[in-house]
Structure 1
Amino acid sequence: MRKILAAALLLALAGCGSSGSGDSSGKKTVTMWMYPVIDDQAKSKAFWTKVEKDFEAKNPTIDVKVDLQPWEGRQEKVTTSLASKKGFDIVLLGPDQIPQYAKQGTISPVDDVVAPDKAAFRPGALTALTTDGKLFGVPIYQTVTAPIFNKKAFAEAGITKLPETYDELKADAPKLAAKKIAILMYPGGPETTLNLSFYPILWSNGGSVFAPDGKSVAFNGPEGVQSLQYLLDLKAAGGLPENAATLDKTEGGPMEQGKAGILNAAANIDAVKLGAAIGAENVAVGLPFKGAKQVTFGIPGGLLLAKHAENAENADAAKKFMQYIASAPVATDLAKESGYFPARADAQVDEASPTLKEFAKSLEYAYPGDAHPAARQVMALLVPEIQAALQGKKTAKQALDDAAKAANAVVSGGG
């Protein structure tokens, strides 16, 4: 089955653009795979079309193509493209995806791309995109997540002070449940990364996905069991939607329907959409919930350079395009259109967004996740076990121990 899937992906790449050193006109060609950083498809297309045209106007000997890709299937398609040396020269990825490709030797360091403006970038963004002392991603934006609240739901439940800790959240759950409102919109479906669901709770309890030496997983330790049991206790108290195990973080869900009070690891765009659905006056943005630690998920988006592009004649052209996208003017425009933050201090933040100002307060708590070459593989093994626990099929410990057994086989290279 895996061989069939790999073959299908290779065929699909033929229709997704191909990297190359030049064309019949003598121009150097550069292909970049970009993802829906700008949530609105029409705005995304318009933005990247303008980026292409503006760059080519300044660099007439370079032909660039921004190939807009969906989030779905990203990991498999990127892995296949890098292995086949086709599809793209540049690709957008997050910090936890870099170690895998760095270890495989399919991406190239980009320290020289950032070097001219290195002092302008957020230090945390550069650190997050660095593996084994080498920078593998050029930061073009910075995300941060924070809890968003349906204030009206809390008011109707007689709660005047919004919870600030996980303990307070749990204590308030029965009050909202009495109004048939789940206090926490937990997106347990496989479409939502664990970085936006289970991991923030794990981190807040002082836990981690991997052991310090990276040779095994640690999510099934006491902190992990405590974190999953917390979710099970919330569900038992009516604090999670009934379908939390399969729920996706999509528009029109329980938050917009007024059936959930909190989305824990939300982005600014989530706050904007919620405001449009229930009224901006009913939306509040909080700081990350306090547990043993106060932490939330937040990453820089990084442009990676394929190793085969580094070795091709168009390497300089590709790096020039990466520098252009990461420049202060483009970073400012991208931040405004995406609702994220620029990854450099000399770019401007959209002051017109009141919710974005609130999200900025959580930047100091942002954590890019547990980087490891097997991070995404481990996540794929953990998701169904957490779902099984939420569906009452396994205890918290059983679910995490079963996931750990399968994950350790992958981490150790045995599976």
Structure 2
Amino acid sequence: MVQTKRRSVIKLAGSAAAVASTGMAGILASGRTPAYAQQKTVHWLRWVDFVPASDTLLRKELIPQAEKELGMKINLETVNGNDLQPRATAAIQSGSGPDLIQAFNNNTYIYANSVVDLSDLVEDLAKREGGLYKYCRSLCSDGKMFMAMPWAVIGAMVAYRKSWFDEAGATKFPETWQEYHDIGKKLKAKGRPIGQTLGHTFGDAPTFTYPFLWSWGGKEVEADGKTVAINSKETLESVKFMTGFWKDACDEGGLAWDDTNNNRAFLSGTISATLNGASIYIETLRKPDQYQTEKGKPMKEDIMHSPLPKGPGGQFGMHLMQSDMLMKYSKNQDAAKEFLRWIHAEKNYGKWFESQKGYSTPPTAKWESSPVWNADPVLAPFKVAARLGQAPGYAGPPNGKAAEALTKYIVTDMYAKAVQGMAPEESVKWAEGELKKIYSA
């Protein structure tokens, strides 16, 4: 009896070994590793989207679909946009962290030595989709490599209450800064000021102050990207104008605002206009019963968008560029690239773009013909935002020094110091000194 059991055990063991051998041979012949060894985890760090439906789409549909089709785990982490840069810096210093990290504007240049070249992915995308916008290329590539994969451009336009502007005598949005000042002064007298941040926040502050500087003919540096040129007559005139504009037309509490305060102020009816993406309008579309005018009508019917006014030096815009960096320390670089290819495929990226409802402009020309732009004329001004953007650092290139100046909020602080009482000449001189520390290093 004992011997029979022993023979049975030996026989079963032999059969199991044969099966295992056959299975392994099959795996080796196919060139594929076992599923448990093949599984990878890609950690993707992004901002908390100002269009909540898009984050929901990623978490509930696109990420699960990618995991199924790619055979990998994707860990999507979202944080406040102002926290992305500190997280990236900490990850690089420690040599570990998210595989993919979202970057804003020209911050990509700060991390150029710590990221993987994504030129092959980007150029393939550009070829498929009618070319990459110059604005996106300049902020993601130093001419030698693509430091990040362009994701989208958040167009910055002035959202304003049409009926309130009509009552103040502006049947169309003011074309010049002087006209905007005059209308804003009337609006503020009625308790309906313009809302604008001059705080240290990634979006609404620099996308306002940089184009404002340019529109007066001011600039940080000359075209050589080395000679600091901010201390000019044109810059000084812009600062002097800002002090009057701020006092006469703006909500002066805006000095401390981040990128959410102006949204809340507009939706609560305490400001008449603010530079923003389309998120305010989209929120009123989502909740028409919640956001009403003082006359009890849906606020969505009283919102329009316009580019910033023009000044003596012209009319400009700076729009928030979003891209994804693949970090050199990542142990999942191939998997991360595979995921980037997947998410940028037209059928997948298109779902995300449509969920944005016009809040984001894709980085390639193909999407200009999307039906999204024809669905709502209120969103039409955002269609070509990526074509019209000008990069920080103008008139020089958007290099690492320009990125450092942006992240230190030097241009924004120049105006903030002046509206708080510093003499315009002194605030300009201060900005010149801070820029020289960067560009002379």
So what's the TM-score if we normalise by structure 2? Answer: 0.78
2:364 is aligned with 1:358? no
Q: Which residue of 1 aligns with 2:169?
A: 158
Instruction: Please tell me whether the aligned partners of residues 83 and 106 of structure 1 are also in contact (alpha carbons under 8 angstroms).
Output: no
Offset of residue 306 of structure 1: 0.9
Q: Using the alignment, how far apart are the partners of 2:371 and 2:314 within structure 1?
A: 28
Q: Which residue of 1 aligns with 2:95?
A: 85
Q: Which residue of 1 aligns with 2:39?
A: 27
Q: Which residue of 1 aligns with 2:12?
A: none
Q: Which residue of 2 aligns with 1:397?
A: 425
Instruction: Please tell me whether the aligned partners of residues 110 and 404 of structure 2 are also in contact (alpha carbons under 8 angstroms).
Output: no
Q: Which residue of 2 aligns with 1:297?
A: 318
Instruction: Please tell me whether the aligned partners of residues 142 and 341 of structure 1 are also in contact (alpha carbons under 8 angstroms).
Output: yes
Instruction: Please tell me whether the aligned partners of residues 230 and 431 of structure 2 are also in contact (alpha carbons under 8 angstroms).
Output: no
CA offsets 1:277-317 (integer angstroms, 9 cap, x no match)? 341221111233222222111244212111223xx4x3221
Q: Using the alignment, how far apart are the partners of 1:349 and 1:374 within structure 2?
A: 39
Q: Which amino acid aligns with 2:88?
A: V
Q: Which residue of 2 aligns with 1:329?
A: 347
> Aligned with 1:323: secondary structure?
helix
Instruction: Please tell me whether the aligned partners of residues 211 and 315 of structure 2 are also in contact (alpha carbons under 8 angstroms).
Output: no
> Aligned with 2:81: secondary structure?
coil
Instruction: Please tell me whether the aligned partners of residues 156 and 320 of structure 2 are also in contact (alpha carbons under 8 angstroms).
Output: no
Q: Using the alignment, how far apart are the partners of 2:50 and 2:346 within structure 1?
A: 18
Percent identity of equivalent pairs: 20
Q: Which residue of 2 aligns with 1:234?
A: 245
Q: Using the alignment, how far apart are the partners of 1:77 and 1:126 within structure 2?
A: 24
For the structure 1 residues 38 and 138, does the alpha-carbon distance in structure 2 shift closer, same or farther, using more than 3 Å as the test? same
User: Any gaps of 5 or more consecutive residues in structure 1?
Assistant: 1-21
Q: Using the alignment, how far apart are the partners of 2:98 and 2:35 within structure 1?
A: 15
Offset of residue 274 of structure 1: 6.0
> Aligned with 2:226: secondary structure?
coil
Q: Using the alignment, how far apart are the partners of 2:306 and 2:389 within structure 1?
A: 14
Instruction: Please tell me whether the aligned partners of residues 206 and 409 of structure 2 are also in contact (alpha carbons under 8 angstroms).
Output: no
Q: Using the alignment, how far apart are the partners of 1:345 and 1:192 within structure 2?
A: 26
> Aligned with 1:73: secondary structure?
helix
For the structure 1 residues 346 and 235, does the alpha-carbon distance in structure 2 shift closer, same or farther, using more than 3 Å as the test? closer
CA radius of gyration, larger in:
2
Written as runs of structure 1 = structure 2, the 5 A alignment for 1:121-132 is 121-124=131-134, 125-132=136-143
Q: Which residue of 1 aligns with 2:182?
A: 171
For the structure 1 residues 248 and 140, does the alpha-carbon distance in structure 2 shift closer, same or farther, using more than 3 Å as the test? closer
2:197 is aligned with 1:197? no
> Aligned with 1:131: secondary structure?
coil
Written as runs of structure 1 = structure 2, the 5 A alignment for 1:271-350 is 271-273=281-283, 277=291, 278=293, 279-291=299-311, 292-309=313-330, 312=331, 314-338=332-356, 339-347=359-367, 348=370, 350=372
Instruction: Please tell me whether the aligned partners of residues 299 and 368 of structure 1 are also in contact (alpha carbons under 8 angstroms).
Output: no
Q: Which residue of 1 aligns with 2:399?
A: 372
For the structure 1 residues 151 and 115, does the alpha-carbon distance in structure 2 shift closer, same or farther, using more than 3 Å as the test? closer
Offset of residue 64 of structure 1: 2.3
Q: Using the alignment, how far apart are the partners of 1:57 and 1:192 within structure 2?
A: 35
Q: Using the alignment, how far apart are the partners of 1:23 and 1:410 within structure 2?
A: 50
Instruction: Please tell me whether the aligned partners of residues 30 and 318 of structure 1 are also in contact (alpha carbons under 8 angstroms).
Output: yes
Q: Which amino acid aligns with 1:397?
A: E
Q: Which residue of 1 aligns with 2:435?
A: 407
Instruction: Please tell me whether the aligned partners of residues 144 and 298 of structure 1 are also in contact (alpha carbons under 8 angstroms).
Output: yes
Q: Which amino acid aligns with 1:335?
A: F
> Aligned with 2:236: secondary structure?
helix
2:415 is aligned with 1:386? yes
Q: Using the alignment, how far apart are the partners of 2:116 and 2:388 within structure 1?
A: 30
Offset of residue 85 of structure 1: 1.9
Q: Which amino acid aligns with 2:126?
A: K
Offset of residue 328 of structure 1: 1.4
Instruction: Please tell me whether the aligned partners of residues 381 and 407 of structure 1 are also in contact (alpha carbons under 8 angstroms).
Output: no
Q: Which amino acid aligns with 1:282?
A: D
For the structure 1 residues 132 and 199, does the alpha-carbon distance in structure 2 shift closer, same or farther, using more than 3 Å as the test? same
Offset of residue 203 of structure 1: 1.9
Q: Which amino acid aligns with 1:294?
A: Q
For the structure 1 residues 49 and 211, does the alpha-carbon distance in structure 2 shift closer, same or farther, using more than 3 Å as the test? farther
Q: Which amino acid aligns with 1:240?
A: C
Instruction: Please tell me whether the aligned partners of residues 209 and 217 of structure 1 are also in contact (alpha carbons under 8 angstroms).
Output: yes
User: Any gaps of 5 or more consecutive residues in structure 2?
Assistant: 1-33, 294-298
Q: Which residue of 2 aligns with 1:65?
A: 75
Instruction: Please tell me whether the aligned partners of residues 154 and 321 of structure 2 are also in contact (alpha carbons under 8 angstroms).
Output: yes
So what's the TM-score if we normalise by structure 1? Answer: 0.82
Q: Which amino acid aligns with 1:70?
A: N
> Aligned with 2:170: secondary structure?
coil
Q: Which amino acid aligns with 1:144?
A: G
Q: Using the alignment, how far apart are the partners of 1:375 and 1:315 within structure 2?
A: 28
